[in-house]
Chains A and B, each alone.
Chain A
Amino acid sequence: DAGVTQSPTHLIKTRGQQVTLRCSPKSGHDTVSWYQQALGQGPQFIFQYYEEEERQRGNFPDRFSGHQFPNYSSELNVNALLLGDSALYLCASSLYHLSLNTEAFFGQGTRLTVV
């Protein structure tokens, strides 16, 4: 049973560039959430996708956008990269529940460095 997979594992980009990160959820899961984790901090919620729609968004600018495909996989896009976007980007997959957060499992993350 494949767990959550993310690609790429590491990425170096220049300020102003754009980046796309990818995530495939755990088998049987239908919901993907993205988090940003800066060094020494806990993960910060970016947004969540279910049924190919953005369900909720954290306190991140519009430079951060996403997409979910019919097979439940997801992409995170960041435009006009800033040095402060350097972080570990985590994808979490779960099974949707209307009123309760179900167990979410993280992929190995993508380490993004902006220079």
Chain B
Amino acid sequence: QKEVEQNSGPLSVPEGAIASLNCTYSDRGSQSFFWYRQYSGKSPELIMSIYSNGDKEDGRFTAQLNKASQYVSLLIRDSQPSDSATYLCAAGNTDKLIFGTGTRLQVFP
């Protein structure tokens, strides 16, 4: 079983819609969770961090964490073509981050 699982996609949404990205993790000891955006050929860019159950909003992005269900999600409101990228979910496990394989998001005009 993979430690952090994501649907590889692609997830296709029209411009202006809400994109919903999901992630599950297996290690109940994980306490920190992160979403990174990675454009093709580039390095991951941190867009959200979340440490406690509930929602955290930052601009068009909302991260949701449910530790009981071992589930993390990222909502992107008013999706733009520039949001088209691979979104990596990561769970913090002591000194390291465990990444999923990423979900490819495509926002079409």
Number of interface residues of B (CB under 8 A): 25
Of A11-19, A40-48, A74-82, the one contacting chain B is A40-48
Partner among A42, A48, A56, A88 whose Cβ is within 8 Å of the Cβ of B43: A88
| Complex CA distance for A104 and B88, rounded to whole angstroms | 13
| Complex CA distance for A97 and B44, rounded to whole angstroms | 22
| Complex CA distance for A88 and B44, rounded to whole angstroms | 11
Given contacts A42-B99, A42-B101, A100-B92, A105 and B31 within 8 Å (CB-CB): no
Partner among B44, B46, B96 whose Cβ is within 8 Å of the Cβ of A103: B46
- Chain B residues contacting A92 (CB-CB under 8 Å) are 97
- Chain B residues contacting A99 (CB-CB under 8 Å) are 31
How far does the Cβ of B68 sit from chain A's closest Cβ, in whole Å?
19
Given contacts A42-B102, A43-B99, A108-B42, A103 and B34 within 8 Å (CB-CB): yes
Given contacts A56-B94, A88-B43, A42 and B100 within 8 Å (CB-CB): yes
Q: Is the CB of B92 within 8 A of A101?
A: yes
Q: Is the CB of A40 within 8 A of B46?
A: no
Number of interface residues of A (CB under 8 A): 27
| Complex CA distance for A43 and B98, rounded to whole angstroms | 8
Q: Does B49 contact A (CB under 8 A)?
A: yes
Q: Does A109 contact B (CB under 8 A)?
A: yes
- Chain B residues contacting A33 (CB-CB under 8 Å) are 95-97
Q: Is the CB of A109 within 8 A of B46?
A: no
Chain B positions near chain A (C-beta within 8 angstroms): 4, 31-32, 34, 36, 42-46, 49, 51, 88, 90, 92-102
Known A33-B97, A55-B95, A56-B94; further 18 A-B contacts with Cβ < 8 A: A33-B95, A42-B88, A42-B99, A42-B100, A45-B97, A45-B98, A56-B95, A58-B96, A90-B44, A92-B97, A100-B31, A101-B95, A101-B96, A103-B46, A104-B97, A106-B44, A107-B43, A108-B43
